[in-house]
Structure 1
Amino acid sequence: IIFSSFYQAKEKFKKDLKIEGYLYSDLSVLASDTPYFPPEEEEENLEDGIHLVVCVHGLDGNSADLRLVKTFIELGLPGGKLDFLMSEKNQMDTFADFDTMTDRLLDEIIQHIQLYNLSISRISFIGHSLGNIIIRSVLTRPRFRYYLNKLHTFLSLSGPHLGTLYNNSTLVSTGLWLMQKLKKSGSLLQLTFRDNADLRKCFLYQLSQKTGLQYFKNVVLVASPQDRYVPFHSARIEMCKTALKDRHTGPVYAEMINNLLGPLVAAKDCTLIRHNVFHALPNTANTLIGRAAHIAVLDSELFLEKFFLVAGLNYFK
């Protein structure tokens, strides 16, 4: 009786709508047989260990910044034995120097694993902006050495891997300089290569000489030419025309790129993927100064859903 009344109501609904076609419930075969919200996993399934995904926010950010990234991965990979650590230890002070922030993130990861007594099979990292530099710095620490063979995917969203040199936005460069002066920020000083008179002794150059990225199965660099906060070439780890013409800093820049990409290319089990993103952005001041594109990788549901459905989920399977 219940089924009959449901069927009649559905037919009336279709007539009222005046549509020629099928409703979702009419289809005998669906595109996916995996439910969005699967039944609870059996405990014995966890014997293989879990896939820990560490999400790290950027400058002046907080642990909620990457919540949509987490949501779309969870929806797309139900029952994927994923455990997310939304890093919060640096959210009160992202203007500190990178060594300080590295210590905090490393402590946070190890404490999380110990607190929940996690059996780790794989570790992936997702970083936004400056968070990507903290992640790379963590990989170089002796205390993290035990986990290097568990590294799976590094998803870098607008990461300033080569700092903010050769930024084509004078407005942003001036803003970063002012912010560094006001906040006495160690991280901004290091991103602009002003932490040492000798460029090869600067934090970012020295970080480029250390191993880390080649231990991942996938290194995924997401960059947007509309983002003026982080230069496009820095997020993609590649040369730019201005650096080629610069006889003073250009050669050091080229060395950094070779330091980073050389081990990646040589590693047989590591794949480097670059994704260029073009956002449909409104004509606002945020778009003009390049901030809108910088944060769209975090807050644009349109971008995130498409990115993960088309390509992104493959890196976390």
Structure 2
Amino acid sequence: IFYQAKEKFKKELKNEECLYSDLSVLASDLPYFPPEEEEDNVEDGIHLVICVHGLDGNSADLRLVKTFIELGLPGGKLDFLMSERNQSDTFADFDTMTDRLLDEIIQHIQLYNLSISRISFIGHSLGNIIIRSVLTRPRFRYYLNKLHTFLSLSGPHLGTLYNNSTLVSTGLWLMQKLKKSGSLLQLTFRDNTDLRKCFLYQLSQKTGLQYFKNVVLVASPQDRYVPFHSARIEMCKMALKDRHTGPVYVEMINNLLQPLVEAKDCTVIRHNVFHALPNTANALIGRAAHIAVLDSELFLEKFFLVTGLNYFK
């Protein structure tokens, strides 16, 4: 029955995709609780993993992600910074939130006197934009050569301009008005009448992502909060038909992808996620899929065991 269902599902997919159940080798064959290892076997320096939550989130949002990485890579000399500096105000503008995260990272490294060999970032939703903005700051320049993996979970890299959910678009507009949110204004390209002067477009022109060894983009077509194409950094049909904004959108995609294509040591991986969701209001408006990348143990354990742990080794 499973094989019949899988083949039927494959036929329904428009693209030629590889399903996780097709893979014969897991990302890790280590037991969750192995015997203690000799310290000499571990490379010098800490692998700092910085987790950044999304809109109206908090430092506990990515706790399951942290747990599965720690369980899957025992003895990996990992140190996690669960960012909390922005959790009291994620409706601020991106420059303000960038300053807060950057201060938090540098203070964490100095406070614990960390000797760092590698730095990885894991972001959820809006947190991914804050991460990308941090990479462009002069104070972070020293750490660019230590960047390892950027795991983007439902990140609105191209904003929410072409969102096919009228309900969500209206909700975001109302929230922006009520909260006077700078970040939501910037995500919808309403922070400047000239699109090329909008925050997201200007961020796309700055260097950053190409310094990572792995850029991993996780997206779900069931997610209505962040458009599928935005999380995957790719073109969409609505933009192709839009003669006014579409060409600027194409420029932004090229700005982001061209440096990644040209970088010899950088690999871009896209993962599409299809969640088994109950028929609830949250599933209907697309919030359930947006949150499932954080709180679905079924998805997270499979993702990290099958492939995700490879990006943090």
Offset of residue 10 of structure 1: 38
Map of 1:61-100 to 2, 5 A cutoff?
Answer: 61-100=57-96
| Higher RCO (CA-CA < 8 Å; seq separation 6+) | 2
Identity %: 94
Offset of residue 15 of structure 1: 45
Q: How far, CA to CA, are the matches of 1:21 and 1:263 in structure 2?
A: 25
Map of 1:113-128 to 2, 5 A cutoff?
Answer: 113-128=109-124
2:156 paired with 1:160: yes
Q: How far, CA to CA, are the matches of 1:251 and 1:17 in structure 2?
A: 28
CA separation of 1:114 and 1:251: change in aligned 2, threshold 3 A: same
Is the Cα contact below 8 Å between 2:27 and 2:307 reproduced in 1?
no
Q: Return the TM-score normalized by structure 1.
A: 0.88
> 1:123-146, CA deviations, whole angstroms, 9 ceiling, x for partnerless residues?
000000000000000000000000
Q: How far, CA to CA, are the matches of 2:175 and 2:142 in structure 1?
A: 37
Q: How far, CA to CA, are the matches of 2:260 and 2:272 in structure 1?
A: 19
CA separation of 1:7 and 1:282: change in aligned 2, threshold 3 A: closer
CA separation of 1:252 and 1:22: change in aligned 2, threshold 3 A: closer
> 1:88-132, CA deviations, whole angstroms, 9 ceiling, x for partnerless residues?
000000000000000000000000000000000000000000000
Q: How far, CA to CA, are the matches of 1:83 and 1:247 in structure 2?
A: 47
Is the Cα contact below 8 Å between 1:244 and 1:250 reproduced in 2?
yes
Is the Cα contact below 8 Å between 1:191 and 1:204 reproduced in 2?
yes
Offset of residue 43 of structure 1: 5.9
SS of the aligned residue for 2:117 comes to strand
Is the Cα contact below 8 Å between 2:46 and 2:114 reproduced in 1?
yes
CA separation of 1:256 and 1:306: change in aligned 2, threshold 3 A: same
Offset of residue 34 of structure 1: 3.8
In structure 1, the partner of 2:136 is: 140
Q: How far, CA to CA, are the matches of 1:210 and 1:133 in structure 2?
A: 12
In structure 1, the partner of 2:292 is: 296
Q: How far, CA to CA, are the matches of 2:96 and 2:178 in structure 1?
A: 19
Is the Cα contact below 8 Å between 1:219 and 1:272 reproduced in 2?
yes
Map of 1:1-317 to 2, 5 A cutoff?
Answer: 34-38=30-34, 48-317=44-313
Is the Cα contact below 8 Å between 1:51 and 1:81 reproduced in 2?
yes
In structure 1, the gaps of 5 or more residues are 1-5
Q: How far, CA to CA, are the matches of 2:14 and 2:236 in structure 1?
A: 57
Offset of residue 31 of structure 1: 13
Offset of residue 149 of structure 1: 0.2
Answer with 1 or 2: which has the greater Rg.
Answer: 1
> 1:38-62, CA deviations, whole angstroms, 9 ceiling, x for partnerless residues?
4556666677101000000000000
Q: How far, CA to CA, are the matches of 1:169 and 1:180 in structure 2?
A: 17
In structure 2, the gaps of 5 or more residues are none
Q: How far, CA to CA, are the matches of 2:263 and 2:217 in structure 1?
A: 17
Q: How far, CA to CA, are the matches of 1:239 and 1:142 in structure 2?
A: 31
CA separation of 1:44 and 1:234: change in aligned 2, threshold 3 A: same
> 1:131-172, CA deviations, whole angstroms, 9 ceiling, x for partnerless residues?
000000000000000000000000000000000011000000
Q: How far, CA to CA, are the matches of 2:186 and 2:21 in structure 1?
A: 57
CA separation of 1:227 and 1:11: change in aligned 2, threshold 3 A: closer
Q: CA RMSD in A?
A: 9.0
Q: How far, CA to CA, are the matches of 1:193 and 1:37 in structure 2?
A: 48
Is the Cα contact below 8 Å between 1:226 and 1:290 reproduced in 2?
yes
Q: How many residues align?
A: 312
Q: Which moved more, 1:195-204 or 1:21-30?
A: 21-30
SS of the aligned residue for 1:48 comes to coil
Is the Cα contact below 8 Å between 1:264 and 1:271 reproduced in 2?
yes
> 1:208-227, CA deviations, whole angstroms, 9 ceiling, x for partnerless residues?
00000000000000000000
Offset of residue 7 of structure 1: 39
CA separation of 1:178 and 1:30: change in aligned 2, threshold 3 A: closer
CA separation of 1:246 and 1:124: change in aligned 2, threshold 3 A: same
Q: Return the TM-score normalized by structure 2.
A: 0.90
CA separation of 1:23 and 1:39: change in aligned 2, threshold 3 A: farther
Q: How far, CA to CA, are the matches of 1:55 and 1:174 in structure 2?
A: 29
Q: How far, CA to CA, are the matches of 1:312 and 1:88 in structure 2?
A: 24
Offset of residue 11 of structure 1: 41
Is the Cα contact below 8 Å between 1:38 and 1:79 reproduced in 2?
no
Is the Cα contact below 8 Å between 2:102 and 2:134 reproduced in 1?
yes
> 1:49-77, CA deviations, whole angstroms, 9 ceiling, x for partnerless residues?
01000000000000000000000000100
Offset of residue 13 of structure 1: 41
Is the Cα contact below 8 Å between 2:27 and 2:309 reproduced in 1?
no
CA separation of 1:30 and 1:262: change in aligned 2, threshold 3 A: closer
Offset of residue 37 of structure 1: 2.9
Q: How far, CA to CA, are the matches of 2:208 and 2:34 in structure 1?
A: 35
Q: Which moved more, 1:279-288 or 1:24-33?
A: 24-33
